[in-house]
Amino acid sequence: MDCIFCQIIAGKLPSEILYQDEEVFAFRDISPQAPTHLVIIPKKHIPSLIDLTGEELPLIGHMVDVAYKLAQKEGIAESGYRLAINCGPWGGQLVPHLHMHLIGGRQLSGRLG
């Protein structure tokens, strides 16, 4: 198991765990790009968005819901935040385990890439 996010889920790599349930796990990004920068991942190792099956699609809705609850906890739900899923090399995906970034706590640039 050489996936760093799978190792974080298994507790083999340290992380600041913010939420977990049967399907989803969330922790603070090690290299934050804003005052709040969290990472929300499925517990199942799905490499990328393009590997998501139709059956697994509801997972994304669940991750969006978890992100909303975490944004509330972080006190940034009202001011606003950004959810981003990078997909593939040109999409800026570095870790090959599907993940959603939750970024907020400052005015974000309108530029996306």
Q: Does 4 bind Zn ion (CB under 5 A)?
A: no
Apex CA 88: angle with CA 92 and CA 40, to 5°? 70
Q: Does 13 bind ligand AMP (CB under 6 A)?
A: yes
Q: Which residues pair with 102 in a beta bridge?
A: 38, 83
Q: Does 36 bind ligand AMP (CB under 6 A)?
A: no
Q: Which of 6, 77, 93, 105 binds ligand AMP (CB under 6 A)?
A: 93
Stretch of residues binding Zn ion (CB under 5 A), selected from 29-37, 50-58, 78-86, 92-100: 92-100
Q: Does 11 bind ligand AMP (CB under 6 A)?
A: no
What strands lie across the sheet with 36-42, from one edge to the other?
Answer: 17-20, 24-28, 36-42, 100-104, 81-84
Beta strands in the chain (DSSP E): 17-20, 24-28, 36-42, 81-84, 100-104
- Residue numbers of the site for ligand AMP (CB under 6 A)? 4, 13, 15, 27, 29-31, 39, 86, 92-95
